[in-house]
Structure 1
Amino acid sequence: MNRTKNLSPIFRQILSKPIPSARCASDWVPQEKETHTGQKWEADDYRLARFIDRPKHVNPNFAINLIAEVPPKACKERVVWCDGGSGPTGHPKVYINLDKPGNHACGYCGLRYFRDTHH
């Protein structure tokens, strides 16, 4: 059954005309935060599709900045060792030579040591 049969001629004329529809293109581009490794994608990168409805979460507390806040540890020995902590939270034990003046950082965790020459 024709539904426009019971309508007035004006409504029939309106409903019979095709309504042009415009596709609204989105110019939305996610705010790209740079990670600690410098990862920043281009605006047309396909990998940004995963952040269409969700923000990209980047932890602003980079480990290198947190380690830099730890003051260097004064040591009386010429050679010290660092294991990064205890047990499973640490790293292999490394020995650090403190003969030269200044701070000497652990290659694994970045903790700094210096030789305290004052007696």
Structure 2
Amino acid sequence: MLSRRLFSRAKLLKSITRASSSSAASSPTPPAVVNTPAPVTGQQAPNYPTTWSANQRPRPTAADGPRFEQTTMAVQPNPLSAMDLIANEPVRMIHGRKAVCDGGGGPLGHPKIYINLDQPGPRACGYCGLRFEQVHHH
């Protein structure tokens, strides 16, 4: 897509230079100015302050199909992000040296993993993000 634009602009530029060089004896004509519209920018999702990458589309322009034509983003509910939901979950205190996490919910969970709790501080599950910490006995 980008190469097509560059090719068409190069072709336009070449034709303009040919026309100006052939009519150099006559009155000079200014080159044609191509106006491109400015990109549409919108608000970022309220539950995350910035975009993750430079090519991410902002939230209001992400849902621009006919289904979302009359959706006013200001009155839509703002659910918490997954990061906030996990941060609100309390740390589970374990009496042993290792924790076992399977995500809960039976078949809706994840593979069972064992988390080493020898180091101080909470340790997170790599699948679901639940945190576990060893109860230290003094």
TM-score (norm 2): 0.51
**Cα displacement string for residues 18-76 of structure 1 (whole angstroms, at most 9, x for unaligned residues):** xxxxxxxxxxx896452768454398x69635443223557522122111111111111
Return the letter of the residue paired with 1:48: D
Q: Tell me what 1:108 maps to.
A: 127
User: Which protein has the larger Cα radius of gyration, Structure 1 or Structure 2?
Assistant: 1
Distance 2:89 2:59 in 1: 35
Return the letter of the residue paired with 1:53: Q
Q: How does 1:1-119 map to 2 (within 5 A)?
A: 32-34=43-45, 38=51, 40-41=57-58, 48-50=64-66, 51-56=68-73, 59-118=78-137
Q: How many equivalent pairs are there?
A: 90
Identity of aligned residues (%): 42
Q: Tell me what 1:17 maps to.
A: none
Corresponding residue SS for 1:80: strand
Distance 1:99 1:46 in 2: 45
Is the CA contact 2:124–2:132 (under 8 Å) kept in the aligned structure 1? yes
Distance 1:70 1:40 in 2: 30
The Cα RMSD (Å) is 3.3
CA shift for structure 1 position 77: 1.0
Distance 1:53 1:32 in 2: 17
Q: Unmatched 5+ residue regions in structure 1?
A: 1-28
TM-score (norm 1): 0.58
Structure in which a larger fraction of residues adopt helix: 2
Return the letter of the residue paired with 2:71: R
Return the letter of the residue paired with 1:103: P
Q: Unmatched 5+ residue regions in structure 2?
A: 1-39
